[in-house]
Amino acid sequence: MSHLLMFYGTECPHCHVMISLLDRLEVEVGVKIDRIETWHNETNAKLLTTYDDGDKCGGVPFFINTHTNKWLCGSVGYDELKAWAA
């Protein structure tokens, strides 16, 4: 598993916007971001709670960089996403 994780929901419109930015980031920067669906997968939903203890985001999209422990919540701009992944 990558150290860059995105937790998302299949029907989440904000998540779809961010997935487009992730695609761009992966191509331009050459990073791998694991995408973990939580709305239809109970195991993944439990995994989300291990990274988001409720006081960070409480929903999706939620991004965690396990090397730096930096996290993002919701829709953010490309530059902020790129800084998170560094």
Domain containing residue 23:
8-85
Q: Could you read off the pLDDT tens digit of each residue along the chain, which spans 86 residues?
A: 789 999 999 999 999 999 999 999 999 999 999 999 999 999 999 999 999 987 899 999 999 999 999 999 999 999 999 999 99
Which pTM does this prediction carry?
A: 0.94
Number of domains in the chain: 1
CATH number at residue 64: 3.40.30.10
Domain assignment present for residue 3? The answer is no
Domain assignment present for residue 2? The answer is no
Domain assignment present for residue 1? The answer is no
Which is nearest to 78 in space by CA: 8, 33, 30, 24?
A: 24
Q: What SS3 state is found at 16?
A: helix
φ, ψ of residue 41 to 5 degrees: the values are -140, 105
In angstroms, the CA 12 to CA 1 distance is: 23
